[in-house]
Structure 1
């Protein structure tokens, strides 16, 4: 009987620590998925290497992953074309640009397509450092636009979607306005001048200019009573021709009167 009790006691001494250890292991939270590993496997190896080379960016990415994070990683081709500008940044500027590609919220593909507007990023630090970009959705196309770049980045594929971390591949490097010059505003085109009325061209292409119709001078008050010059000449000729006849008739009458008197 005493041996049985000793055996039970030994079993309890061994089993209790094992059970406690198993319970503690079950309660421990699962580690968040590794975003940089998903980037490297999905065609964003160059961007993942830049994060690993920046202590500030790497530590911020690791801390944000447990609370929820969405990363937009540029493709290797996009990073290669942007490297000359990246190398001219300071260490703090490089870290800010890398953090500018992630937001502290987990967005699944469905929730990402349902959002529009301005988003804060891991680089946002109060009012002194805005570091935000604008997310826009048009159908199934998700685009990201910043104030410093006239180009629009597009989401090409989903590399990781495991709550609380999502990683999406984009085709361009985001350029924050805090590090690069703002995109120039488009100059409005001048308004066209009003078209002047031009005369229609006649034959031969020359424009015709019609003169106003000539107005005849109105006759004076005595115009109706005055005979034309030709009529005046004819009247004078008729008067001159009739004068001898009148003289002959007057002489004949005088001769008759004298004869009557003598008789």
Structure 2
């Protein structure tokens, strides 16, 4: 039986050590795999239903560079839908280049919020447009159940509502909203709603009765009674009495003459 000699065993150990060292050096020299590139923000917006808003960002160099550099540290974008951007374009065109960039940056938050964490937050949030105390550019996030809304003092009508999720994968989340959010730094605060007018008090009386009270009917004289019609004036009564007295005087004289004649005849016969 052949037994290995001590020298051969030592030689084998040395070869094994050299092989192990060479393999370790090769592994150390191999370059590390590069990290995956950050997602393309505007491309993800366009795929999620916000192509019009993505085109506005691409047309603004300041906004485009800020969006792409901020995504590496985590970002949440609230991108208005295509219909919302179309309705807002007339006002957007009246802004300066700097104001357009600020409006676009106002729709992103420099923190990644998953949909679950978004629904548990309420209150003001800083945006990519926030610049310390000089430019607040904050909006108020509100949620009730599954409904998440964004509002500012310049928002007219209902606040912008989160409609759907375009992307939610760390470090980027993109949520589609149904309106363009307007910062108070660029737009006037919305006017307070006008209170409804108080109901008119009920009329105390019908209109006809009111007219009768203002224009009373003229008084009508009482019709004369039958006695009043038949009665004669006072002067006419006096004349009638005198006529009656004058008519009775001849009758008295005639009766007196007749009586005297009778007496005279009786005396003659006697």
Separation in structure 1 between the aligned mates of residue 125 and residue 101 of structure 2, nearest angstrom: 18
TM-score using structure 2 length: 0.63
- Tell me, yes or no, if structure 1 residue 74 matches structure 2 residue 80: yes
| Alignment equivalent of 1:135, drawn from 104, 116, 141 | 141
- Tell me, yes or no, if structure 1 residue 85 matches structure 2 residue 91: yes
Identify if the C-alpha distance between structure 1 residues 198 and 143 changes in structure 2 by more than 3 Å, giving closer, same or farther: same
- Tell me, yes or no, if structure 1 residue 125 matches structure 2 residue 131: yes
Q: Deviations over 1:153-173 (max 9, x none)?
A: 110100111112100001111
Which of 1 and 2 has greater Rg? Answer: 2
Unpaired runs of 5+ residues, structure 1, are: 208-263
The size of the alignment, in residue pairs, is 201
Identify if the C-alpha distance between structure 1 residues 18 and 88 changes in structure 2 by more than 3 Å, giving closer, same or farther: farther
- Tell me, yes or no, if structure 1 residue 40 matches structure 2 residue 46: yes
Structure 1 residue 29: Cα displacement = 3.9
Counterpart of 2:166 in structure 1 is 159
Identify if the C-alpha distance between structure 1 residues 85 and 17 changes in structure 2 by more than 3 Å, giving closer, same or farther: farther
Counterpart of 1:145 in structure 2 is 151
Q: Deviations over 1:74-126 (max 9, x none)?
A: 11111111111111111100100000000111110001011111111100001
- Tell me, yes or no, if structure 1 residue 179 matches structure 2 residue 190: no
Separation in structure 2 between the aligned mates of residue 198 and residue 94 of structure 1, nearest angstrom: 60
Separation in structure 1 between the aligned mates of residue 84 and residue 202 of structure 2, nearest angstrom: 53
Equivalent runs, 1:1-263 vs 2, <5 Å: 16=25, 19-22=28-31, 24-25=32-33, 28-151=34-157, 152-189=159-196
Q: Deviations over 1:155-208 (max 9, x none)?
A: 010011111210000111111111111101224456779x79969x9xxx969x
Identify if the C-alpha distance between structure 1 residues 92 and 191 changes in structure 2 by more than 3 Å, giving closer, same or farther: same
Separation in structure 1 between the aligned mates of residue 165 and residue 184 of structure 2, nearest angstrom: 26
- The CA RMSD over aligned residues, in Å, is 3.1
Unpaired runs of 5+ residues, structure 2, are: 1-13, 211-270
Decide whether the 8 Å contact of 1:33 with 1:162 is kept in 2: no
Could you list the runs of 4 or more consecutive aligned residues of structure 1 that deviate by over 2 angstroms after TM superposition?
Answer: 8-22, 28-35, 186-193, 195-199
TM-score using structure 1 length: 0.65
Identify if the C-alpha distance between structure 1 residues 190 and 59 changes in structure 2 by more than 3 Å, giving closer, same or farther: same
Separation in structure 1 between the aligned mates of residue 152 and residue 104 of structure 2, nearest angstrom: 14
